[in-house]
A and B are shown apart, each in its own frame.
Chain A
Amino acid sequence: MSAIVQAENLSRFYGMVLGLNNVSFAIQPGITGVVGPNGAGKTTLFRLLLGQIRPSAGLLSVFGSTPWNNPAVQALVGYCPEGEQMPPGLRPLDWLVGLGLLSGLSTAEAKRRAQASLERVKLAPEHWSKRVTAYSKGMKQRVKLAQCLLHEPRLIVLDEPMNGLDPMGREDIASTLRQLAADGTSVLISSHILQDLEALCADFILLRWGRIPRSLNEGVSAETRARWPAATTFRCGAPAQLARFFFDRGLMQGCDIEADAGTLHVRWIDPQRFYAEFDRLLLESGVPIYEVSATESFLEKAIEPASSP
């Protein structure tokens, strides 16, 4: 499968300030997550892809063309920015129709697609004619997502689309994005909610200080993600009894027990041994289990050095 975005030695500086520094990457079709702390260069990367800023050095191609100031590329890309970017006082349906016209759609087609987009992001029709000033943050996020689906782009760039959404809203958006990906649309998404990204994305780009460090990106490679987590958290009825059970079978390297929360964090000697027959082991332990999860997500683990001094 050929890459939809290709960057070679791409740099972007704002005077003396570093935006992106000599990064090379390729983005394949599907859902790709962009992860990094604030100021890592995520928004700079997005604006470069959208053709709103020009690279200071290096090459960037989106669908085989240079995106800078290139309406032909912009017509293929949809953008959902991070902030609240809607003119107050407008009704979402009117706004979306106007944006559809700006994308070159006829009035009838713009109206049809505006309604379809609002339906797709699960915004109830009774809200379509209300002014956006009366909207909750979650509803505004949905309208922003709808505007970027309006012209049916081939690549959707989403900057923190999950911000301000409750878990159900996040799941709604995630399922919409999965459906889009299944329909052939590629998605590039940044989010600080790493669990959501892990569940959603097939690929990742990790940014730090304007660079894409190889060590970080190896931490999120497909091979790494295929490995079992080295530590597991159990929420259960008797954490101490469960710890003793694992210890007796020689599975556990160490553990932390939070008796009040009924939680046990286990570090495995060999995770493969536990996960190969975890269902039988948990039944044998006789302890009521409420939840099993990886103690640390691979994304958290990968970007951990960035947050530590």
Chain B
Amino acid sequence: MATKLDLSRWRVRPHGVGYRRWTILFTGLRLLLRTRFFRLLVAVAWSAGLAIAVLGFVFSQSIASGGWLETLAAHSSARLEAIVIALGGFVSLYPDICVRGIFTLIFWVHSFVGLWFTLIALTVLIPRLITRDRASNALTIYLSRPLTTLDYLLGKLGMILGIILLTWTGPLVFGWLVSMLFATNRDFIVYSIAPLARALAFNGIALVALAAIALGVSALARTARNTTILWIGLWIIAGTMASPPHAPAWIRRASFSHDLGEVRERVLRLDTALSDAATQLPLLNPRFATSLSRAGERSRADDFGGALAGLGVFVIASSLVFTRLLRPE
């Protein structure tokens, strides 16, 4: 009997590899955003972005003649009005030091908040990243699809990137953009670009380090509980051990949160911003100038090279773990 088969279904060309990587990223983030805790975390993280915008707005109003800050101060007391006017004068005379210094301070504070939110988000994400696929052996099924291990890892890396964008970089850029919308002159944009670029550079370094560590930790353990314990051990326990001021250098470098802290101080340059303010601004109160200088010294990175090497070791070791455990054979 002659049979005629309809084989047209095999001539349909599916989407390419970029689509498949995007699927891993998008599906993973969508599942994560279904959890109430994660939605709350993202909302709080964006509130921090809003706080940046509010601070930037308040600061820009300080030099606007007849702005709401000056009006408010005039209604309160003559002394407060004088302070506000003096502050406005400072910013007008020394926009490079004032605008750069204030935005460095804002981004420095936000880097703590953003990093903290990212680490909490990663605690939720890491067990779902690779551990669950390995524990249920679903990885065998995923890799039997037109998907290489590299595609799989790039998709997972995209998930981490998405998390950092949602909890850290997004609010940061959003806050800066909104505050610039209400800026009273160009100086705010010109002199806040450098602190923003440094904040984004620190963001990038943290992204590389945290992505590698998260993938390594997620690939290492085979149960969600062990993965969470391992992550918390690396983050909180190693961080606590590294926090005493007289802890040996190798213990401090063994904590990625300490290493990131050192990198933050060097990249964001809060010490330079404070020292410049103390030495170049004509501050009438010498004690205030001394306090600024001391604060600048305290925020100086003592062991930047060691911290960078520590992060490098973390990245290399983690990459070895996940490439070794996920290689196709």
Residues of A participating in the B interface, judged by any CB pair closer than 8 Å? 50, 52-54, 69, 71-72, 74-79, 81, 83-88, 98-99, 101-106, 144, 147, 151-152, 154, 182-184
> Using Cβ atoms and an 8 Å threshold, which residues of chain A touch B148?
69, 71
A-B contact sample (18 more), CB < 8 A, given A53-B329, A85-B136: A52-B143, A53-B328, A54-B329, A71-B148, A74-B146, A74-B147, A81-B137, A81-B141, A81-B144, A87-B138, A101-B23, A102-B20, A102-B142, A102-B147, A104-B14, A105-B14, A147-B141, A152-B9
Residues of B participating in the A interface, judged by any CB pair closer than 8 Å? 3, 5-7, 9-10, 14-17, 19-20, 23-24, 27, 132-133, 136-138, 140-148, 328-329
**Cβ contact within 8 Å between B147 and A87:** no
**Cβ contact within 8 Å between B133 and A87:** yes
Q: List 14 A-B pairs, Cβ < 8 Å.
A: A52-B144, A53-B328, A69-B328, A71-B17, A76-B10, A77-B144, A84-B136, A85-B137, A86-B138, A98-B23, A99-B141, A103-B14, A104-B14, A184-B5
> Using Cβ atoms and an 8 Å threshold, which residues of chain A touch B20?
101-104
> Using Cβ atoms and an 8 Å threshold, which residues of chain A touch B14?
75, 103-105, 151
Q: CA–CA, A101 to B148, complex, Å?
A: 15
> Using Cβ atoms and an 8 Å threshold, which residues of chain B touch A147?
141
Interchain CB contact (< 8 A) of A79 among B7, B24, B144: B144
Closest CB pairs A-B (n = 4): A104-B14, A71-B146, A79-B144, A101-B23
**Cβ contact within 8 Å between B328 and A74:** no
Interchain CB contact (< 8 A) of B144 among A50, A101, A182, A184: A50
Closest to A107 in B: B23
Closest to B148 in A: A69
Q: CA–CA, A30 to B5, complex, Å?
A: 13
> Using Cβ atoms and an 8 Å threshold, which residues of chain A touch B9?
152
Closest to B24 in A: A102
Nearest Cβ on chain A to B89's Cβ, whole angstroms: 59
Closest to B5 in A: A184
Q: CA–CA, A57 to B30, complex, Å?
A: 43
Q: CA–CA, A175 to B317, complex, Å?
A: 51
**Cβ contact within 8 Å between B328 and A75:** no
> Using Cβ atoms and an 8 Å threshold, which residues of chain B touch A52?
140, 143-144, 328-329
**Cβ contact within 8 Å between B10 and A154:** yes
Q: Contacts A53-B329, A69-B328, A75-B14 given: A102-B145 contact, CB under 8 Å? A: yes
**Cβ contact within 8 Å between B144 and A98:** no
Nearest Cβ on chain A to B10's Cβ, whole angstroms: 6
Interchain CB contact (< 8 A) of A104 among B16, B24, B133: B16
**Cβ contact within 8 Å between B136 and A102:** no
> Using Cβ atoms and an 8 Å threshold, which residues of chain B touch A98?
23, 27
Nearest Cβ on chain B to A51's Cβ, whole angstroms: 8
> Using Cβ atoms and an 8 Å threshold, which residues of chain A touch B136?
84-88
> Using Cβ atoms and an 8 Å threshold, which residues of chain B touch A102?
20, 23-24, 142, 145, 147
> Using Cβ atoms and an 8 Å threshold, which residues of chain A touch B6?
183
Q: Contacts A85-B137, A85-B138, A183-B5 given: A151-B15 contact, CB under 8 Å? A: no
Q: Contacts A53-B329, A102-B24, A152-B10 given: A75-B141 contact, CB under 8 Å? A: no
Q: CA–CA, A86 to B138, complex, Å?
A: 5
**Cβ contact within 8 Å between B141 and A79:** yes
**Cβ contact within 8 Å between A101 and B146:** no
> Using Cβ atoms and an 8 Å threshold, which residues of chain B touch A77?
144
**Cβ contact within 8 Å between A74 and B144:** yes
Q: CA–CA, A78 to B141, complex, Å?
A: 9
Closest to A132 in B: B136
Closest to A76 in B: B10
**Cβ contact within 8 Å between B17 and A87:** no
Interchain CB contact (< 8 A) of B141 among A53, A72, A85, A101: A85
Q: CA–CA, A85 to B146, complex, Å?
A: 18
